[in-house]
Chains A and B, each alone.
Chain A
Amino acid sequence: MTTAPDGERGTTAAAPMSQPGPAMAVPPPRQRRSRRLLKRFFRRRLSVFGLVVLLLILSLAVFAPLFGSPSRNDFGAVLLGPSAAHPLGTDDLGRDTLARIAYGARVSMQAGVMATLLAMAVGVPLGLIAGYYRGWADLVISRFTDLLLAFPFLILAVGLAAILGPSLRNVVIALGISALPSFIRVTRGEVLGLREQDYVAGAVADGAGDGRILSRYVLPNAISPLLVQATVTVPEAIIGESVLSFLGLGVQPPTPSWGTMLSAAQTFLTQAPLLAVWPGVAIALAALSFNLVGDGLRDTLDPKATS
């Protein structure tokens, strides 16, 4: 290490700093942040497990055709237990349970992800407007949120199913509407907090346009909590879809869905109990994997939050 120029303290503020001594922990440069976060995430073994399960379920959904047809009947082979030909057995119509679980994963993942995307697509802009402009816009949006919250999820879903008819699309709409308030509230809260930040206030003072401020300064900082909210919403929506399909208000047979499979299995609870086990395990694993990843993300992105 060289001797620093003396006498210039105060004017060459950063000069001695640029040669980090052994004791100096250099503040982590920006590009290392993502790597540090990844490292922190992967240190949590349970979250990694969740991620692996999630990837497995996703591949199950993507490669569902490899597991055979979900609708080929074989009346000579109904309500069979697990065997080489049918690893998870067959149902009351002799259809292969594994194939149906795989196709059910498609429905589940679609419902979970699309409902969440729908809620984000509507909720985030509303939250941005409410938090950024405040005033009457905030008032209207907040009352709208209260109104949505006044309808418990199943009441809303049952009503929508009655109006629109049962289908995957309508399930997604019902789930999306139920998840809307959370996204509005999270976004609004973030924006309200960020508005007070110096750099945002500075940008406002510099006369930057609203769109620019929202997209350049506010939205990027709201990403973390929104991501965490999304990982909470997806498993809720996955379970919600199975509930609606179970009740007969969602995906209609013969389309395989974990909920309709459980509903059918109810009749054969004594003869073929395993039939009621597999779809339930599938739903639980799918929801669990998202919840584990969500917990991991929350801890990683916001180590202060304790959960």
Chain B
Amino acid sequence: MASYLLRRVGTSALVLLLASIVVFVGVRALPGDAAVALAGEESDPVAIEQIREKYGLNDPVPVQYFRYLGNSLQGDLGFSTRTGLDVSEIILDRLPVTLELALLSLLVGLLIGIPAGILAALRRGTWIDNTSNAFGLLGLSIPNFWLGLVLILVVSVQAGLLPASGYVPFFESPVANLERMLLPAIVLGTGLSAVLMRQMRSAMLETMSADYVRTARSKGLSERQVVLVHALRNSLVTVVTVLGLQLGALISGAVITEQIFVIPGFGKLIVDGVFTRDYPVIQGVALVTVCGYVLVNLLVDLTYSFLNPRIRVSGGAS
């Protein structure tokens, strides 16, 4: 277990280091001169040169990289070229919004996807299975931003039930907050629930035909025990492993969902950053997203290894 943990943490650290290089190089590859951007378009060459010196843009690239890495590790992500605000502060400001959206969507995804997948597998070939499968296929095929538009059209514009856009912090008014988060969470959660449902269903079908499930039946256990104790446990282990990868889809989904519902979160921040060529913001958001994503996947893997005795309790046959 310990060696597995070490190896897994080491890999994640390496990936993070590589990712920081990619982000650094990527931002350097952006069109336009960073110094010009910092100084303003109309600055004279002398002022621009001063900026270059001040920000160390004349230093060799590796030196610049390590300075950037050091600053980032200390939480210094630079300043927005558009607003002049501290990028770390902007991010800290926006992060809770996106986290709330992601958590609510995860909840929607799990609450629909997991039970539907289990039921579909247990009632294979019945209308429950067919309905779940249809839901799964549609959920995979319908783009979430379109679902968002349709929901805004039907629920907000025509029925006038929920606000179509905007954001109110939860601690200011929980009701107003949830009113505005409900539709985005459904939009983002539906796709996730479709994926989870399909994965849960096939994992469950696989474990239900496993030899050890037959053994459990041969012991005279009730069908409930066979399913809930012997099959479900092993199916969930499989589904946990893919949950981490689904997080990437969740982040991507958040970017566009925030755009549609005009939610001032992380995703909106990066898209706006691209349109305003606010490179420090793009760089900061990309770095923080990648770190968060890699760390959560590490966490998922550790959970998995804890759920799986093969990894948790190592030791060969004697």
Q: Are B137 and A284 in contact (CB under 8 A)?
A: no
**Also in contact, A153 and B149, with CB within 8 A (given A159-B26, A161-B274, A284-B138):** no
> How far, in Å, is B126 (CB) from chain A's closest CB?
15
> How far, in Å, is A149 (CB) from chain B's closest CB?
7
Interface membership of chain B positions 188-200, coded 1 if the CB is closer than 8 angstroms to chain A and 0 otherwise? 0000000000100
Which residues of chain B from 254 to 308 have any CB-CB distance to chain A below 8 Å in the complex? 255-256, 259-260, 267, 270-271, 274-275, 277, 282, 285-286, 289-290, 293-294
Q: Are B293 and A162 in contact (CB under 8 A)?
A: no
> How far, in Å, is A51 (CB) from chain B's closest CB?
14
Partner of B19, one of A151, A246, A247: A151
> How far, in Å, is B211 (CB) from chain A's closest CB?
14
Is A26 positioned at the interface, with any CB of B under 8 Å from its CB?
no
Which residues of chain A from 229 to 268 have any CB-CB distance to chain B below 8 Å in the complex? 235, 239, 242-243, 246-249, 262, 265-266
Q: Are A155 and B270 in contact (CB under 8 A)?
A: yes
Q: Are B143 and A288 in contact (CB under 8 A)?
A: no
Give the contact stretch, choosing among B79-87, B150-158, B223-231: B150-158
Q: Are A146 and B256 in contact (CB under 8 A)?
A: no
Report the interface size for chain A: residues with CB under 8 A from the other chain: 45
Residues from chain B with a CB closer than 8 A to the CB of A279 are 146
Residues from chain B with a CB closer than 8 A to the CB of A155 are 251-252, 255, 270, 285-286, 289-290
> How far, in Å, is A121 (CB) from chain B's closest CB?
21
Is A273 positioned at the interface, with any CB of B under 8 Å from its CB?
yes
Cα–Cα, bound, A266→B146 (Å): 10
Residues from chain A with a CB closer than 8 A to the CB of B274 are 158, 161-162, 249
Closest partner residue, chain A, to B140 (CB atom):
A291
Q: Are A163 and B245 in contact (CB under 8 A)?
A: no
Cα–Cα, bound, A287→B15 (Å): 32
Residues from chain A with a CB closer than 8 A to the CB of B256 are 154, 243, 246-247
> How far, in Å, is B295 (CB) from chain A's closest CB?
10
Known: A154-B251, A242-B145, A269-B149. 17 other contacts (CB 8 A): A151-B290, A153-B249, A155-B255, A155-B286, A158-B271, A162-B274, A163-B30, A242-B143, A243-B256, A249-B271, A262-B145, A280-B143, A283-B142, A284-B138, A284-B146, A288-B140, A288-B141
Interface residues of B (CB under 8 A from A): 11, 14-16, 18-19, 22, 26, 29-31, 137-138, 140-143, 145-146, 149-150, 152-153, 157, 198, 201-202, 205-206, 209, 245, 247-249, 251-252, 255-256, 259-260, 267, 270-271, 274-275, 277, 282, 285-286, 289-290, 293-294
